[in-house]
Chain A
């Protein structure tokens, strides 16, 4: 425990800004992964245990695209579109066979794919750590805000994630497709009786979830190292986020992700050995006091 560092940091504005930014980065990446997880659960009623693999594929796709074309925008696009396609295929060919079956089967199918995807990445890109490197456009001096160092890339990352959150929130609340998705989550039988292809909705939602995770992976690629199995720790953290925020709630995912981001960022100062433990402790407190999560409606 190192409480002096923590209080020292809280007292200085420079450290405060730096830690808050890094908390935002962790939180925003987590949000993109967790919101896909929560969306898939809300509509399809399955927990995608292989969601971390989409994050991993997003990062690897982006790295390859960047190395081939040298364009950062194209790399992001490749990461997101590639995983969306992967999500669609995965849902239509495999997951659609286990809807309504017991959790054991769903868990097993996802477990199988975690094993397969990790090995596929190992085959194509090799088992060693890879790094994409910061794109040239962002190799500019960092900004100084109140004495704290903020790399410009971090601002872009936060902005992209926030825009994604707003589009998603508005899209679900205001558009026709959003209404159909919400209706399908509520009563798929009725929706399909009204002549709407629910299979298409399911595939689309899974692709959307995969795309968001892939986007998170692509955004993370320049600042994190890439390795097979990198998705799993992100998956666990997004589980914690969805449990804290409440399954199926987008606002919950956002708040939960930011809370976890801040806990990780400031916790690593005060409790370097117990940072992960802090997240779990927080989750347990939320679960015990509100079993449905902060924003969950369903009874857990």
Chain B
């Protein structure tokens, strides 16, 4: 498939989306239904593995979907988005270990820290052209990683935050209980996805698509491109940070790998795997990636080679993600049936 065809396919997609008006009520109902299904899952199965899998999907899924807001919707190829994942994990872990505040307070405070950091880094980065943007975000990722490594007295250096994260119960929710942690993770995932979908379908979301397609034209009709890019950069950082917090709660700690550049690489890969033209593509990608990663690490210690070959297969061979295929097939089928009836 050529680039042009891909563009046409995505145009068809965008058209079909424009026709359906944003319906927050319907979205909220779907979100609620998904949450209920996920919440009922522990009743059907007692498999700890499956529940763990869903929790990890929540952490990585929020991270990957927020990255898609930048990559897929705004055309900002961030190669340092993982820094906010690490920031969330460390911010939350440290807050709980050092201050002993209630969980919701630490949650909000970590979001506030992420907001400030993302605002500063975003203000420097978003005006750069795409290659420079990828570069400089990656450089900031490594700055945060090296700060975590060298600030041993606060972060524990390469050992990470050890000794577990204290999780005092609040509002009848006890996060050291595996089931409670599962439900809270699902709730955060569903709420996060719902909010991100609202952002993507809002007029602001369409402004972002316009900036992606033609930033010059967008600025001609009076859109402050810099401000729009910065806004989505900060918003995406907040969701990535939430993913990091779920991860910190799940492993009861935070490790330098959470802030390492490979997390960003994995995020990009997940987006590629699932496809960036649909909102739920990254979620599909997350599930695929986690299954792939678990299988490969069990089979061989050289999982880098296997993952690398899979990435090459997708990037050079298929040239698009899995959800892109599904949508394309669906659109083609509908067109064909349309031709038959007319």
A residues lining the B interface (CB < 8 Å): 41, 47, 49, 94, 97-98, 101-105, 107-109, 111-116, 118-120, 122-123, 232-233, 236, 239-240, 243, 247, 273-274, 276-277, 280, 283-284, 287-288, 291, 299-300
What separation, in Å, do the CA atoms of A284 and B140 have in the docked complex? 10
A111 touching B139 by the CB < 8 A rule?
no
B139 touching A108 by the CB < 8 A rule?
no
A97 touching B305 by the CB < 8 A rule?
no
Q: How far is the CB of A187 from chain B (nearest CB, A)?
A: 19
Given the interface contacts A104-B268, A277-B147, does A119 sit within 8 Å of B305 by beta carbon? yes
* A-facing residues in B294-315 (Cβ within 8 Å): 302-305, 307-309, 311-312, 314-315
- What residues of A have a CB within 8 angstroms of the CB of B151 in the complex? 273
User: Which of chain A's residues has its CB closest to B133's CB?
Assistant: A103
Given the interface contacts A116-B304, A116-B308, does A105 sit within 8 Å of B138 by beta carbon? no
B269 touching A280 by the CB < 8 A rule?
no
Count contacts between A and B, CB distance < 8 Å. Answer: 114
What separation, in Å, do the CA atoms of A299 and B302 have in the docked complex? 42
Which of B3, B271, B276, B309 is the one whose CB lies under 8 Å from A112?
Answer: B309
Which of B127, B147, B314 is the one whose CB lies under 8 Å from A291?
Answer: B127
User: Which of chain B's residues has its CB closest to A233's CB?
Assistant: B142
B residues lining the A interface (CB < 8 Å): 3, 71, 77, 79, 124, 127-132, 134-136, 138-140, 142-143, 146-147, 150-151, 261, 265, 268-269, 271-272, 276, 302-305, 307-309, 311-312, 314-316, 319
B124 touching A276 by the CB < 8 A rule?
no
- What residues of A have a CB within 8 angstroms of the CB of B319 in the complex? 105
What separation, in Å, do the CA atoms of A120 and B304 have in the docked complex? 9
What separation, in Å, do the CA atoms of A233 and B146 have in the docked complex? 10
Q: A276-B150, A291-B127 are in contact. List 19 more A-B contacts (CB 8 A).
A: A103-B134, A104-B272, A108-B272, A108-B315, A109-B312, A109-B316, A111-B308, A112-B311, A114-B265, A116-B308, A119-B303, A122-B302, A247-B131, A273-B150, A277-B143, A277-B146, A283-B136, A287-B124, A287-B136
Q: Could you show 13 A-B contacts with beta carbons less than 8 Å apart? A: A49-B79, A104-B77, A104-B272, A105-B319, A107-B268, A108-B272, A111-B265, A116-B305, A116-B309, A239-B139, A273-B150, A276-B146, A283-B136
Q: How far is the CB of B123 from chain A (nearest CB, A)?
A: 9
A47 touching B307 by the CB < 8 A rule?
no
B77 touching A288 by the CB < 8 A rule?
no
B135 touching A112 by the CB < 8 A rule?
no
Which of A41, A119, A288 is the one whose CB lies under 8 Å from B304?
Answer: A119
- What residues of B have a CB within 8 angstroms of the CB of A233 in the complex? 142
Which of B79, B150, B314 is the one whose CB lies under 8 Å from A107?
Answer: B79
Per CB-CB distance, the 10 closest pairs between chain A and chain B, nearest first, are A116-B308, A115-B304, A119-B304, A112-B311, A115-B308, A112-B308, A108-B315, A119-B305, A276-B146, A111-B265
- What residues of B have a CB within 8 angstroms of the CB of A49 in the complex? 79
Most buried by B among A104, A232, A276, A280: A104
Q: How far is the CB of B8 from chain A (nearest CB, A)?
A: 16
- What residues of B have a CB within 8 angstroms of the CB of A113 in the complex? 308
- What residues of A have a CB within 8 angstroms of the CB of B308 in the complex? 111-116, 119
- What residues of B have a CB within 8 angstroms of the CB of A109 in the complex? 311-312, 315-316
What separation, in Å, do the CA atoms of A240 and B138 have in the docked complex? 10
- What residues of A have a CB within 8 angstroms of the CB of B142 in the complex? 233, 236, 276
Q: How far is the CB of B118 from chain A (nearest CB, A)?
A: 15
User: Which of chain B's residues has its CB closest to A127's CB?
Assistant: B301
User: Which of chain B's residues has its CB closest to A93's CB?
Assistant: B316
Q: How far is the CB of A244 from chain B (nearest CB, A)?
A: 11
Q: How far is the CB of A101 from chain B (nearest CB, A)?
A: 7
A111 touching B146 by the CB < 8 A rule?
no
A47 touching B131 by the CB < 8 A rule?
yes
What separation, in Å, do the CA atoms of A103 and B134 have in the docked complex? 8
What separation, in Å, do the CA atoms of A173 and B261 have in the docked complex? 37
What separation, in Å, do the CA atoms of A102 and B276 have in the docked complex? 13
What separation, in Å, do the CA atoms of A236 and B3 have in the docked complex? 31
- What residues of B have a CB within 8 angstroms of the CB of A118 in the complex? 304
